[in-house]
Structure 1
Amino acid sequence: MKKIYIAGPDVFEPDSVAIGKNLVQLCQKYGYEGLYPLDNIVDFSQQKHKIAQNIFDANIAMIQEADIVIANLNPFRGKEPDSGTVFECGYAYGLKKEVYGYLSPACNYIDRFTEDERFAKEGSFYDLDARVIEDFDYPLNLMLSCSTKIIEGSFETVLKFLKGRE
């Protein structure tokens, strides 16, 4: 049975344990074993840096154990996905794992900026701080979009996609 590492900022939600249980159950429904970061056992009585290192090491071990990573790439605290999730995708890609992300909607990145949040100049778009906004017809930064199969929808949408290619 293939193992799926479940990446995403869901671990920060108030009901993160219940979310994880649901995602693991969805994996089982489609014939996979789900690995959810909060299933790791960490001693929270230590110093903060030691706790952080233990969480990092445990998540790295889970990614190494997994065959596939499915990541929640929806915006988190802004227009971009969670930075920890992005790291996990890149790490898994470097290990030659299958990496999938879900996003809703999966519109072009440039379209995440309203007319009031961007301006055009010399054929390019810029944010209000005059920084170029990528426009490659991808839903996210090219580094993530070129390394991760991004699917519009939900975690279950990705599971259905995976089952459909078997």
Structure 2
Amino acid sequence: MKKIYIAGPDVFEKNSIELGEILIKLCKKYGFEGLYPLDNIVDFSQEKHKIAQDIFDANMQMIKDADIVVANLNQFRGKEADSGTVWECGFAYGLGKKVYGYINDTSDYIDKFTKNEKVKNGDNFIDNESRIIEDFNHPINLMLACSMELVAGDFETVLKKLKKL
């Protein structure tokens, strides 16, 4: 049975444990074993940096143990995906793992900026901080878009796709 590392900011939700249980059950339904980061055993009575290091090490091991990474790349605290999730995707890609990302809003990244948030500057658009806005007809940064298969929809949409392979 192939193992799927479940990446995403779902771990920050108030009902994160329940969400993990749902995602793991969905994995089983489609014939996969789900690896959810909050299933790691971590001693939270330690100093905060040690807790953080233990979480990091445990999640890295889960990614190494996985065959596939499925990542929630929906916007989190801004216009971009969660930075920890992005790191996990890059790490998995670097290990040669198959990476799938799911996203609800598949419009081009540049279109996620309102008229008040971008200004035409020559051939480019710039944001309110005078930085060029990436425009490669992808809904996310090109480094993510080119390193994985991006799926419009949700976690189960990816599982359905994987089941057909």
Q: TM-score, normalised by structure 2?
A: 0.99
- What is the CA–CA distance in structure 1 between the aligned matches of 2:119 and 2:153, rounded to whole Å? 29
AA paired with 1:126?
I
Q: Which residue of 2 aligns with 1:17?
A: 17
Alignment of 1:58-137 (within 5 A): 58-137=58-137
Unaligned runs of 5+ in 1: none
Q: Which residue of 1 aligns with 2:45?
A: 45
- What is the CA–CA distance in structure 2 between the aligned matches of 1:161 and 1:143, rounded to whole Å? 22
- What is the CA–CA distance in structure 1 between the aligned matches of 2:35 and 2:71, rounded to whole Å? 12
AA paired with 2:129?
D
Map Cα deviations across residues 13-69 of structure 1 (whole Å, 9 max, x no partner): 000000000000000000000000000000000000000000000000000000000
Q: Which residue of 2 aligns with 1:31?
A: 31
The Cα shift of 1:105 comes to: 1.2
SS at match of 1:6: strand
Identity %: 65
The Cα shift of 1:148 comes to: 1.5
AA paired with 1:100?
Y
Q: TM-score, normalised by structure 1?
A: 0.98
The Cα shift of 1:4 comes to: 0.0
The Cα shift of 1:5 comes to: 0.1
- What is the CA–CA distance in structure 2 between the aligned matches of 1:52 and 1:31, rounded to whole Å? 32
AA paired with 1:105?
D
Q: Which residue of 1 aligns with 2:151?
A: 151
Greater shift, 103-112 or 65-74, is seen at: 103-112
Greater shift, 113-122 or 6-15, is seen at: 113-122
- What is the CA–CA distance in structure 1 between the aligned matches of 2:105 and 2:80, rounded to whole Å? 13
Unaligned runs of 5+ in 2: none
Greater shift, 5-14 or 116-125, is seen at: 116-125
CA RMSD of aligned residues (A): 0.6
